[in-house]
Chain A
Amino acid sequence: MNVSGAAVRACGLVKTHGQGQSRVRAVDEVDLEVPQGQMLAVMGPSGCGKSTLLHLLGGLERPTGGEVWVAGRRIDTMSERALARLRRRSVGFIFQAFHLVEELSAAENVELPALLAGRSRRQARRRASLLLERVGLAERARHLPSQLSGGQRQRVAVARALVNDPLMVLADEPTGNLDTAATLDVLRIFEELRSAGQTFVIVTHDERVAATADRLVSMRDGMFVDDTWLAGSHARGLGGLIGLEG
């Protein structure tokens, strides 16, 4: 099967929750291919299955049916151990609730996945300090998560997601807990990463977050109902956004 160029690919993906009468198809026969370098946003109301989809793509949950391929390798049939390894090396996760280790400093949180992936202490430290600088938190490296604002914590989580140079970053409502200013900080970082060719799948209900993506998929009841290319389709220019005539 030819899967070159795709960071992640899913076909006939199904995930059901519950049993018998209360059985729900959270993800219902979804086909998806995200080429490397693409930033894809998935939008939809709560309970439409978008988070479940993200978990399936990143190997956090196994599908009830269908296939998932990451970096050309089929992951839904992988052993638990091989899957954990692949997740560590190829996938960076960003969650709404940050999920930082409260006992570790910002820098240590970022270093942790690098150490788990087998990098040396020195390598991990160097990489962490580089990434914290990139997200504008070089001076906060020694702070504990409890000493940081929500926006700063999420930026630490972004640095952590990038520490192993992942093939793709999966983000689940990355700005869900942030105010407008902190959201803009995170979006600015995403935009920089996008221009640098980082592959993203972002699940969100915030139109602003979705609008940073190249492509937007809308989900309802476990299915895709719309797939829109957002990037570079306008010739009108920014002046058309405001009325300046007369």
Chain B
Amino acid sequence: MQDAVLAMLAKEPSHGYDLRARLRQSLGPLGESMNPGQIYVTLARLEKAGLVICERAGGLPERPERKVYALTPAGQQRVTAWLAEVGWPKPDLAEFHLKLAAAASARLADPVELIAAQRRELLRRLREAQHAALAEPAGAGAGLLLEGVVLRLQADLRWLDACERVWSKVDDEVEGG
């Protein structure tokens, strides 16, 4: 989030509410739950870190003090570094994998049941994301982000299928002797 806000300031110095509007436009329905104050909290942190400076723009009578934020040279550098970065969020599958193993070995729960419950949860999320994706117009906006969410959930569901295949066999072997 901090990096994204910084990079948006690379276009031109902006007010907090301009940045917020641009975020909302890119995120569409995914940004609706964003706390309205979040952008200001982020800007305050960036200012403290010396990455942006805040200037008070000559205001209108009804809004006397409007803060305009701009990148500092350090902020510029950080944006350049961020663009070159190839970090990527790692899927956290190990936790669920370990949950299945632990549940089976301690006989706490049936792994196949755990997989089914997880599957239901992901399918509900997929439905939600898919409905939102189908409602968005084609293009580089929120629809494209939602497509990414949908594809990831789909991949996770396929992995759960693989889990189910393996763990139902383990169950059969245990029951069979």
For residue A188, CB closer than 8 A to chain B, the reply is yes
Q: Is A246 a contact partner of B1 (Cβ separation < 8 A)?
A: yes
For residue B169, CB closer than 8 A to chain A, the reply is no
State the Cβ distance, A163 to closest chain B Cβ, in Å: 24
Q: Is B123 a contact partner of A239 (Cβ separation < 8 A)?
A: no
Q: Is A230 a contact partner of B33 (Cβ separation < 8 A)?
A: no
Partner of B131, one of A191, A226, A242, A245: A191
Stretch at the interface among A52-60, A139-147, A204-212: A204-212
State the Cβ distance, B153 to closest chain A Cβ, in Å: 8
Q: What residues of chain A have their CB less than 8 Å away from a CB belonging to chain B? A: 184, 187-188, 191, 207-208, 210-213, 216, 218, 225-226, 228, 230-231, 233-234, 237-246
Q: Is B123 a contact partner of A211 (Cβ separation < 8 A)?
A: yes
Taking CB atoms, residues of chain A closer than 8 Å to B54 are none
Instruction: Tell me the dominant secondary structure on chain B's binding face.
Output: helix
Q: Is A242 a contact partner of B30 (Cβ separation < 8 A)?
A: yes
Q: Is A212 a contact partner of B32 (Cβ separation < 8 A)?
A: no
Assuming the contacts A208-B154, A237-B33, asked whether A244 and B127 have C-beta atoms less than 8 A apart, the reply is no
For residue B6, CB closer than 8 A to chain A, the reply is no
State the Cβ distance, A55 to closest chain B Cβ, in Å: 24
Assuming the contacts A191-B131, A241-B129, A241-B149, asked whether A207 and B32 have C-beta atoms less than 8 A apart, the reply is no
Q: How far is the CA of A208 from the CA of B126 in the complex (A)?
A: 7
Which residue on A lies nearest to B1, using beta carbons? A246
Q: Is B130 a contact partner of A208 (Cβ separation < 8 A)?
A: yes
Assuming the contacts A238-B30, A238-B33, A239-B34, asked whether A230 and B127 have C-beta atoms less than 8 A apart, the reply is yes
Q: How far is the CA of A1 from the CA of B124 in the complex (A)?
A: 34
State the Cβ distance, B25 to closest chain A Cβ, in Å: 15
For residue B74, CB closer than 8 A to chain A, the reply is no
State the Cβ distance, B91 to closest chain A Cβ, in Å: 12
Q: How far is the CA of A231 from the CA of B145 in the complex (A)?
A: 22
Partner of A211, one of B2, B31, B127: B127
For residue B7, CB closer than 8 A to chain A, the reply is no
Q: Mark B120-144, 1 if CB is under 8 A from A, else 0.
A: 1001111111111010000000000
Partner of B120, one of A207, A226, A241, A246: A226
Q: Is B127 a contact partner of A231 (Cβ separation < 8 A)?
A: yes
